[in-house]
């Protein structure tokens, strides 16, 4: 991990979270957190740019106050909305015999990927490299400074709707901040919550948010599949509210304080009762905790069944790594037991282990910092080429490189601040070789 101060922005459907972290000697310390509810996002999509920008500004201000620094740039997490994932293979002839491969050659490869893989309504977001091959020699991770006549590259390319990306960028700009980087959220998350072997052999991650649930399948170190289900923890809260005829505020409190997601016969026979406020009634109503659990289980099971249908279609539940749950809704007790019952594979829960953010709703924000600080300069450069279609690194990156680090330290920082069927056919062919 590269030393420095990093600020991440997690744009969720129900809330926006900002995390400021300092990385020193491969240790990450959270020094500031901000969280603000928003009405500018619906089902993972920004529907009100001004409202979203205001929420971003408020969340950043909270993080600034706690961290004691001024924030001007953000690492943005891009959700799996209108995302297309495809394998790629490009081949570049080096201009002269035995020429040393340099950044210019890498830029040419990215241009080829863009020309081959990006449709008119999409834009390139990220490139995940599997390997480079030089003159038939494979397994090369970084070809720069090597010599050869021909270089090939295999990997996975991610494209995103131009409209979705425009709205993200516009919201950040309207809030008054610079975009440090745009990272595909499921990829960043997989780098944090999975071991290297889990990413290599294959594992499923399920990010259970407030307004949506994102399922991703990772294999050979790459995100091979990612899909957003437009239901999440807020739907559970609404179900409790409707069934018990209580306010959304009370329903959320009930879910957090006494809710659990898996009911057995023992629970039904020995459940305690709680008193709840009922709309239109002066007296409180008595409700068994097991009944509340049945409400939660019904919606959570519905979400998991939708996830399972997506995974069954590509055979991903055969991956040996099982399932990892995270995200705020995964905090509901016994939800992993329900998931195991439905998926019939091993299920575990990931909770960040950092002071002040030991709650699964912060996994996204933490993972952005972890992924950004761990990214090698080749992949960082290729992602920059992919996003901005230009050779020059951003000014912030150039300044950091001059200082010998990717970011500024806390003290330096304080001192300086004072789609179509055709695509699906291709995709299914790709997934057919999922375990090869």
Q: Dmax of the chain from CA atoms?
A: 87
Averaged pLDDT score across all residues of the chain = 87
The H or E element that residue 225 is part of is strand 222-229
Task: Check residue 409 and give its pLDDT.
Answer: 41
The mean pLDDT value for 103-114 works out to: 89
Task: Check residue 353 and give its pLDDT.
Answer: 87
CB neighbours of 282 closer than 8 A, spacing ≥ 6?
A: none
Where exactly are the structural domains of the chain?
Answer: 83-162+420-432
CB neighbours of 72 closer than 8 A, spacing ≥ 6?
A: 177, 178, 417
203: which strand partners? 218
Task: Check residue 432 and give its pLDDT.
Answer: 47
End-to-end CA distance of the chain: 31
Weakest mean pLDDT among 29-43, 92-106, 154-168: 92-106
Q: What is the pLDDT of residues 272-326, one digit of tens each?
A: 899 999 998 988 999 999 999 999 999 999 999 999 999 999 999 999 999 999 9
Task: Check residue 201 and give its pLDDT.
Answer: 96
Task: Check residue 387 and give its pLDDT.
Answer: 82
Decide: 113 and 157 in contact? Cβ < 8 Å: yes
CA separation, residue 53 to residues 56, 115, 191, 334 (Å):
5, 33, 28, 36
Confidence of residue 271 (pLDDT cuts 50, 70, 90): confident
Cα–Cα distance measured from residue 193 to residue 211, given in angstroms and rounded to the nearest whole number:
21
Q: What is the pTM of this model?
A: 0.85
Q: What is the pLDDT of residues 326-361, one digit of tens each?
A: 999 999 999 999 999 999 999 999 999 887 788 999
The mean pLDDT value for 371-392 works out to: 82
Phi, psi of 321 (to 5 degrees): -80, -5
Task: Check residue 401 and give its pLDDT.
Answer: 35
Q: What is the DSSP letter of 214?
A: E
276-285 as b/e, with b when 16 or more CB fall inside 10 Å? bebeeeeeee
Fold of the domain built from segment(s) 83-162+420-432 = Dna Ligase; domain 1 (3.30.1490)
Task: Check residue 267 and give its pLDDT.
Answer: 65
Weakest mean pLDDT among 34-43, 103-112, 424-433: 424-433
Within 10 A of 272 (CB to CB), how many other CB atoms are there?
Answer: 8
Residue 428 has pLDDT above 50, yes or no: no
Confidence of residue 389 (pLDDT cuts 50, 70, 90): low
Task: Check residue 42 and give its pLDDT.
Answer: 86
Residue 132 has pLDDT above 60, yes or no: yes
Task: Check residue 405 and give its pLDDT.
Answer: 35
- The SS3 call for residue 9 is strand
Task: Check residue 269 and give its pLDDT.
Answer: 65
Residue 205 has pLDDT above 60, yes or no: yes
Within 10 A of 200 (CB to CB), how many other CB atoms are there?
Answer: 15
């Amino acid at each position: 991990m590269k030393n420095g101060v990093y600020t991440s922005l997690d744009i969720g459907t129900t809330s926006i979270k900002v995390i400021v972290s300092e990385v020193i000697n491969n240790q990450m310390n959270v020094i500031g957190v901000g969280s603000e509810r928003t009405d500018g996002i619906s089902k993972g999509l920004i529907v009100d740019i001004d409202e979203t920008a205001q929420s971003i500004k408020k969340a950043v201000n909270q993080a600034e106050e706690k961290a004691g620094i001024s924030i001007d740039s953000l690492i943005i997490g891009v959700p799996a909305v209108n995302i297309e994932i495809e394998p790629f293979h490009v081949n570049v002839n080096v201009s002269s015999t035995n020429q040393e491969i340099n950044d210019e050659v890498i830029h040419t490869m990215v241009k080829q990927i863009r020309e081959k893989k990006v449709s008119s309504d999409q834009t390139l977001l990220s490139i995940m490299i599997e390997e480079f091959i030089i003159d038939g020699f494979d397994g090369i991770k970084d070809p720069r400074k090597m010599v050869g006549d021909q270089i090939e590259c295999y990997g996975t390319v991610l494209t995103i709707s131009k409209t979705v990306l425009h709205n993200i960028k516009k919201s950040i700009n309207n809030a008054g901040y610079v975009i440090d980087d745009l990272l595909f959220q499921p990829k960043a998350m997989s780098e944090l919550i999975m071991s290297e072997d889990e990413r290599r052999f294959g594992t499923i991650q399920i990010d259970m948010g407030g307004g949506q649930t994102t399922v991703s399948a990772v294999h050979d170190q790459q995100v091979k599949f990612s899909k957003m289900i437009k239901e999440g923890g807020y739907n559970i809260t609404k179900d409790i509210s409707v069934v018990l005829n209580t306010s959304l505020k009370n329903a959320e409190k009930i879910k957090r304080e006494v809710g659990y997601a898996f009911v057995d016969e023992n629970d039904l026979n020995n459940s305690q009762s709680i008193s709840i406020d009922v709309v239109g009634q002066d007296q409180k109503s008595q409700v068994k905790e097991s009944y509340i659990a049945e409400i939660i289980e019904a919606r959570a099971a519905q979400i998991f069944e939708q996830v399972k249908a997506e995974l069954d279609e590509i055979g991903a539940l055969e991956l040996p790594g099982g399932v990892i749950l995270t995200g705020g809704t995964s905090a509901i007790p016994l939800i992993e037991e329900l998931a195991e019952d439905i998926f019939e594979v091993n299920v575990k829960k990931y909770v960040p282990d950092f002071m002040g953010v030991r709650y699964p709703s912060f996994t996204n924000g933490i993972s952005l910092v972890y992924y950004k600080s761990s990214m090698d300069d080749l992949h960082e450069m290729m992602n920059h080429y992919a996003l901005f279609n230009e050779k020059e690194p951003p000014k912030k990156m150039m300044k950091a490189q001059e200082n010998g680090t990717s970011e500024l330290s806390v003290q330096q920082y304080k001192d300086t601040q004072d789609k179509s069927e055709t695509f699906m056919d291709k995709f299914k062919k790709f997934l057919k070789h999922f375990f090869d």
